[in-house]
Amino acid sequence: MAENLEVQLAAVKEKCLSCKKCSLCKSRTNIVFSGGIPNHKLMLIGEAPGYYEDQKGEPFVGKAGQLLDKIFASVGLSREKDVYICNTIKCRPPENRDPLPEEKEACKEYLEAQIEILKPRIILLCGRVAVNSILGTTQGITRIRGRWFEGPNFSKMMPIFHPSYLLRNDSREKGSPKWLMWQDIQEIKKAYDMLD
């Protein structure tokens, strides 16, 4: 079963690697399909590859990624053994601008396939772009982070702050973004531990 799942994901990745469905194919160095491990319990969806991700072909490998790893590690989770990581679009937008609606639309089939194959029980929507893409809401992340939403295949989805945002907001005081992230990751770990 697990092997089959990896074969299916590899087939989608293969297709993605030669994708020219939107103009980002012209400026990318590498496609960033996924990182971490295919774990049906936990998936994180970020925004789009940045400079380092584009260089390495792996998601969340820059400064934001290092902070993300620390956040997971604070509750004993890691991308090596617990989390499947991907982005709403697979190629880097020039100058890290927000993905355009037509780019998100073009790339949607890959993200949808990843979700359909893995059927994750918990999906973390990391930052505004992922929240807008998946929940279709323009509500601010500050207002909806930390809440559970019903996701595909009876999953639970939670919007969380993007680590880049946390890097720009250094305070750890009660009520600060970092403090709120700490509450959220503990809630996520509790839900994770309750899964079979």
Residue ranges binding ligand URA (CB under 6 A): 46-50, 53, 59-60, 64-65, 87
Q: Say how far apart CA 180 and CA 77 lie, in whole Å.
A: 18
| Contacts (CB under 6 A) with ligand SF4, residues 77-106 | 89-91, 103, 106
- Beta strand spans in the chain (E): 35-36, 42-46, 84-87, 122-126, 149-150, 156-160
47 touches, from ligand SF4, ligand URA, none (C-beta below 5 to 8 Å by class): ligand URA
64 touches, from ligand SF4, ligand URA, none (C-beta below 5 to 8 Å by class): ligand URA
Q: Residue 19 Cβ, how far from ligand SF4 at the closest point, in Å?
A: 3
Q: Residue 179 Cβ, how far from ligand URA at the closest point, in Å?
A: 22
87 touches, from ligand SF4, ligand URA, none (C-beta below 5 to 8 Å by class): ligand URA
In one-letter notation, the amino acid at residue 81 is K
DSSP annotation of 5 reads H
Q: Partners of 124 in the beta sheet?
A: 44, 158
CB-CB contact of 38 with 81 (8 Å): no
Residues in contact with ligand SF4, total (CB under 6 A)?
Answer: 14
CA 64 to chain centre: 12
By beta-carbon distance, which residue lies closest to ligand URA?
46
Residue with tokens 């559970």: 148
Q: Would you call 159 helix, strand, or coil by DSSP? A: strand
Q: Which is nearer to ligand SF4, 16 or 130 (CB)?
A: 16
Q: Partners of 84 in the beta sheet?
A: 36, 43
Decide: is 22 part of the binding site for ligand SF4 (CB under 6 A).
Answer: yes
- Judged by the rule CB under 6 A, the positions of this chain that interact with ligand SF4 are 16, 19-22, 24-25, 31, 89-91, 103, 106-107
